[in-house]
Amino acid sequence: MEITKNYPKVQAETLHFLILPWLAPGHLIPTTDIARLLAKHNAAVTIITTPVNAARIKPTIDRSNAAAAGNISLVSLYLPATEVGLPEGCENIDLLPSMPLLYNFYEAIKLFRHQVSRYIHEWAPRVSCIIGGMGYVWAVGMGYVWAVDMAHELGVPCFIFHGFGSFVARSVLF
pLDDT for the residue numbered 138: 44
Q: Do 98 and 135 form a contact (C-beta atoms < 8 A)? A: no
The identity of residue 111, as a single letter, is L
Just give the CATH number of 16-173: 3.40.50.2000
> What does the alpha-carbon distance between residue 4 and residue 20 come to, in Å, rounded to a whole number?
40
Q: What is the pLDDT of residues 97-139, one digit of tens each?
A: 998 999 999 999 999 999 999 999 888 788 999 998 875 544 4
The tens digit of pLDDT for each residue in 45-64 reads: 999 999 999 999 999 999 99
Domain regions of the chain by residue span? 16-173
Give yes or no for a contact between 52 and 89, defined as CB atoms under 8 angstroms apart: yes
Rounded to two decimals, what is the model's pTM? 0.84
String of DSSP letters for 70-129: --EEEEE-----GGGTPPTT--SGGG-SSGGGHHHHHHHHHHHHHHHHHHHHHTPPPPSE
